[in-house]
Structure 1
């Protein structure tokens, strides 16, 4: 809030000064009341969710297409996506941290991450849903947890890749400074690693939540063999409206979804983006800063300021020195304690390796037994579908890169443009393409196209945003002093792109391409197999095979198609993306 100097107060009427003083005293109190109201609303939401989830599972929920049911459905979808995001954030930080600092486990963990991000949501569906229902057979919680885990599997992998790549690109001198000042792992995480990774993690969080909205229709309404699972939510509402061909209901559902996305952008993402701007690795402060009225209001709250001053600040001031002292004592103890014998370490490794080998051998034997009934014609059909989907995925990546790289750099380099374009991009990324697909398909049929072109278009709609949001994050993270040097030496546009922009966004671009590739394979289950008005529109591809096998309960075909998809993605990552990741960690790593 702006305070006028005393010498200007005599030019102010007394009534104006009194009104200003009242506002200055009353505004923080009003903010505290708003925060208290939000807290009470969250508490009420927890009670409502607990009551619903603790109840008995409903055998078959009838989804109403009345607009009056939308607030109720929107509430449940927001809760599912919110819990899935928190689970994704915790997993991404834990998994990325271990993979970045444990060299022995790094290769295995990244390979597992490659495999998991390539497995479509519907391939997780049977084991996840059956396991959750078995854990909670008499409660609605089982089906709800299954849907939350399915949303988690469709949105977590790009966050894990982002945090991992950010940790690998931390400047060496910053890591050395934490060692000199005896930072504990906990202190280094909260004072260096999380702040350094904040920009990429926030933008990938936006993409993850958008991806959750994209796959919401598949996670809230699906078939598993002869069983029909439906949950009250926006996804099931849109899916039911699309199946019925009800354009008015689709419009209502998309309108509510867009309103939620805009509100989330203004209340959550925009303040976080403005807050993370201070973590840019630069030596000259930029004159162009991202601003957020909500963040400004939060910083004016006396209740939050008092909570931070009397709770968080004393806690960290007492905790960090103790952790540093404990770390120094631990280092001295390790220096004096005799290390375990080499034979003992080898014996432990052999035992662990034997257990892992036995588990893998047992799982492989069970998989082979499940695949035994398949014929050679089915193998050929799956390989043919894999080749078709592979071509579509790479074509979609090429088309996406052609427009997302220049547009993402423009948005990330211009805060004024970002204020307008970022919410629009988030809305476009979050709207389920399956809800728009009937209109898109009809348009393609009229101009002579079909499911072959339509599947590429739908795949593009679902994956281009991974590249766009990562490029935006990369453009924002480019230090301002590098941009000013380019201006000072009057770089041409080509020189600026070659020496500043492309090297600056390169680590983020590779993360976006890797996750977009996995997302394209994942989106193939929807792009290549689409039910509409009682009929199935499909084209040759692995996604169509997986969707058809899931709906028909053909678990051998589902397993084989999933294995082939995972192998193709892992092979591509090993031959293409992994060398590019190493290049990003070495040649294009920021350093002082």
Structure 2
């Protein structure tokens, strides 16, 4: 009898092969059941939120400090941040697109973006909250929408800046290719602009959500004059615990928040980062790619493939077919139009444009008159105090930016260049960025008081904790966007570390770095409202600064001081942007544009 070698015993038998085939067939079914379960859970969540939002507003909400209330509070906060992020994403794409392609309104829109991102969340508070409550006076949704819009104002600006700068830095050859193939505006947006901006937009989305967690405490629980607004959520839970000095509740709240952030990182951001990596602009395929097991499983789900085949694909085909038909019909109609019809349409459009301008001018003049009436109530001593606070906050912001840039630039480049390091460092950075520094502020303040420090140093530390992530995540995105062929050329020519930083790394990350510094600067000014004015154990701790002036004016209902302090802050930030950041943006577009 023939004797086989021992190695043949390692060949799987029929039973093993059959078991493997059963697992291969059953695993997609299990995955589809999991996806269906997630869908049902989301549907149930929508029902719960709708029942709560459309109920009658509760006159006074008591925030429980029991750990048993945390699951419900966490659910409410996640929904608010998620809806605010979706609103921010739509606004950022629309705003950045119009600003990048409309030469007439581009300077005005970018100036407006500079002003809006420099306005603290609390400065939006009176108008937003009173307007939403007036729109829905008998429903809880009014207060909820107000909180969502406030979170939106803390998330959206860096995303809009990112999308705008990405469109402005699209390589010329890609734009020319889109023109040669006669892409419509929608086709160019979907097939060129969104993919090219994807990496920067994803990383800025991560830091925006982190910013939403940072300002969550201010958006879920605040005082406006004599009215006390409270919403059940993680932010109000942590603020109540910090105000009463309940460190056990702070610990439970932070652990819950960290668990949510870790789950979000693994279930949302990790798959999205792996998906967006395919949009990297390079001529040589990178040897190392970002991986996500969850994305791999979702891509092999039969249920999702079937759903996409019967919904998304027909919609895409129908949309492109309709666009093509409209282009043909539009071209035929354009040649058939008479000169009189063209002139008539021109007159109508001019009249409509003039009407819109007149209405906008009247609204602006009315708002300006009301603002002047309010500003007349400001006393001379109050104005001097605002100017002193502005200079103090200006110095703190610059110190925080220098300290942040000193470590985030090398760390961000290292993470962006090494996918293995990114798999470890990115979740840690995401957790650290998302944990509200305001929740750690009580412990930090107590430690500083014991060693002889105080709110002056503590405010700089809080600004640093809240804004350094804007620079870090933008630098990571810039390092990941550097084409692999440039890295290989640097290796081939045996560049030294200094040469590599000077010729490859710094030019490659420069547009992203400027975006990060601009948004970090605005974020530091925004963070001053919390860093310079804080309640601890029923005491109010504050230092000299513009943020402290704004927070105190909001608490006391002195809207004239709130308005003047906000105007001063906006003017300072816009002046810095015009003298410093705008020339650097122009340099990034001209000298450091990839493929320029």
Question: Which TM-score tier does this pair reach, normalised by the shorter chain?
Answer: over 0.9
Structure-2 residue corresponding to 1:218: 218
Tell me the distance in 1 between the aligned counterparts of 2:114 and 2:459.
Answer: 23
Structure-1 residue corresponding to 2:499: 495
Structure-2 residue corresponding to 1:73: 73
1:369 aligned to which of 373, 377, 385: 373
For residues 579-590 of structure 1, what are the structure 2 equivalents within 5 Å?
579-590=583-594
Instruction: Evaluate the alpha carbon distance shift between residue 541 and residue 335 of structure 1 in structure 2; reply closer, same or farther with a 3 A threshold.
Output: farther
Structure 2 gaps, min length 5: 1-7
Shift of 1:350: 5.2
> Which stretch of the first structure deviates more once superposed, 405-414 or 175-184?
175-184
1:8-63 deviations in whole A, cap 9, x for unaligned? 99922112101110011101111110110001000000000011111111111111
Tell me the distance in 1 between the aligned counterparts of 2:318 and 2:264.
Answer: 35
Partner-residue secondary structure (3-state), 2:467: helix
Shift of 1:358: 2.7
For residues 303-382 of structure 1, what are the structure 2 equivalents within 5 Å?
303-331=303-331, 333-334=333-334, 337=337, 338=339, 339-340=342-343, 351-382=355-386
Shift of 1:446: 2.3
> Which stretch of the first structure deviates more once superposed, 314-323 or 431-440?
314-323
Structure-2 residue corresponding to 1:520: 524
Shift of 1:322: 3.3
Shift of 1:305: 1.0
For residues 368-447 of structure 1, what are the structure 2 equivalents within 5 Å?
368-447=372-451
Tell me the distance in 1 between the aligned counterparts of 2:365 and 2:322.
Answer: 46
Tell me the distance in 2 between the aligned counterparts of 1:190 and 1:89.
Answer: 15
Q: In the alignment, is residue 141 of structure 1 matched against residue 141 of structure 2?
A: yes
Tell me the distance in 1 between the aligned counterparts of 2:205 and 2:185.
Answer: 24
> Which stretch of the first structure deviates more once superposed, 348-357 or 534-543?
348-357
Tell me the distance in 2 between the aligned counterparts of 1:328 and 1:38.
Answer: 44
Tell me the distance in 2 between the aligned counterparts of 1:9 and 1:557.
Answer: 85
Structure-2 residue corresponding to 1:277: 277
Structure-2 residue corresponding to 1:476: 480
Tell me the distance in 2 between the aligned counterparts of 1:464 and 1:335.
Answer: 56
Structure-2 residue corresponding to 1:4: none
> Which stretch of the first structure deviates more once superposed, 343-352 or 119-128?
343-352
Partner-residue secondary structure (3-state), 1:588: coil
> Which stretch of the first structure deviates more once superposed, 328-337 or 380-389?
328-337
> In the comparison of the two structures, how many residue pairs are matched?
585
Shift of 1:352: 4.4
Shift of 1:334: 4.3
Structure-2 residue corresponding to 1:298: 298
Partner-residue secondary structure (3-state), 2:285: coil
Shift of 1:591: 1.4
Instruction: Evaluate the alpha carbon distance shift between residue 399 and residue 328 of structure 1 in structure 2; reply closer, same or farther with a 3 A threshold.
Output: farther
Tell me the distance in 1 between the aligned counterparts of 2:319 and 2:351.
Answer: 38
Partner-residue secondary structure (3-state), 1:156: helix
1:128-176 deviations in whole A, cap 9, x for unaligned? 1111111111111111111111100111111111111111111111111
User: Would you say the 8 A contact 1:207–1:469 is kept in 2?
Assistant: yes
1:479-498 deviations in whole A, cap 9, x for unaligned? 11110111111111011111
User: Would you say the 8 A contact 1:241–1:247 is kept in 2?
Assistant: yes
Structure-2 residue corresponding to 1:237: 237
> Which stretch of the first structure deviates more once superposed, 306-315 or 365-374?
306-315
For residues 112-127 of structure 1, what are the structure 2 equivalents within 5 Å?
112-127=112-127
Partner-residue secondary structure (3-state), 1:449: coil
Partner-residue secondary structure (3-state), 2:252: helix
Structure-2 residue corresponding to 1:180: 180
Partner-residue secondary structure (3-state), 1:155: helix
Shift of 1:351: 4.9
User: Would you say the 8 A contact 1:128–1:149 is kept in 2?
Assistant: yes
User: Would you say the 8 A contact 1:183–1:324 is kept in 2?
Assistant: no
Shift of 1:313: 2.3
Partner-residue secondary structure (3-state), 2:80: helix
Tell me the distance in 2 between the aligned counterparts of 1:98 and 1:395.
Answer: 34
Tell me the distance in 2 between the aligned counterparts of 1:489 and 1:543.
Answer: 51
User: Would you say the 8 A contact 1:225–1:552 is kept in 2?
Assistant: yes
Tell me the distance in 2 between the aligned counterparts of 1:57 and 1:353.
Answer: 39
Instruction: Evaluate the alpha carbon distance shift between residue 499 and residue 149 of structure 1 in structure 2; reply closer, same or farther with a 3 A threshold.
Output: same
Structure 1 gaps, min length 5: 1-7
Instruction: Evaluate the alpha carbon distance shift between residue 9 and residue 140 of structure 1 in structure 2; reply closer, same or farther with a 3 A threshold.
Output: farther
Backbone CA RMSD of aligned residues: 1.7
Shift of 1:359: 2.4
Shift of 1:331: 4.8
Shift of 1:314: 3.3
Tell me the distance in 1 between the aligned counterparts of 2:33 and 2:358.
Answer: 60
1:421-472 deviations in whole A, cap 9, x for unaligned? 1111111111111111111112222222211111111011110000000000
Structure-1 residue corresponding to 2:84: 84
Structure-1 residue corresponding to 2:3: none
Partner-residue secondary structure (3-state), 1:291: coil
Shift of 1:330: 2.9
> Which stretch of the first structure deviates more once superposed, 72-81 or 170-179?
170-179
Structure-2 residue corresponding to 1:163: 163
Tell me the distance in 1 between the aligned counterparts of 2:270 and 2:142.
Answer: 34
Tell me the distance in 1 between the aligned counterparts of 2:156 and 2:308.
Answer: 30
1:463 aligned to which of 467, 470, 481: 467
Partner-residue secondary structure (3-state), 1:103: coil
1:327-347 deviations in whole A, cap 9, x for unaligned? 354356446644548888776
Tell me the distance in 2 between the aligned counterparts of 1:315 and 1:563.
Answer: 47
With normalisation by structure 2, the TM-score equals 0.95
Structure-1 residue corresponding to 2:4: none
Partner-residue secondary structure (3-state), 2:520: helix
1:448 aligned to which of 448, 452, 466: 452
Shift of 1:316: 1.9
Partner-residue secondary structure (3-state), 2:238: helix
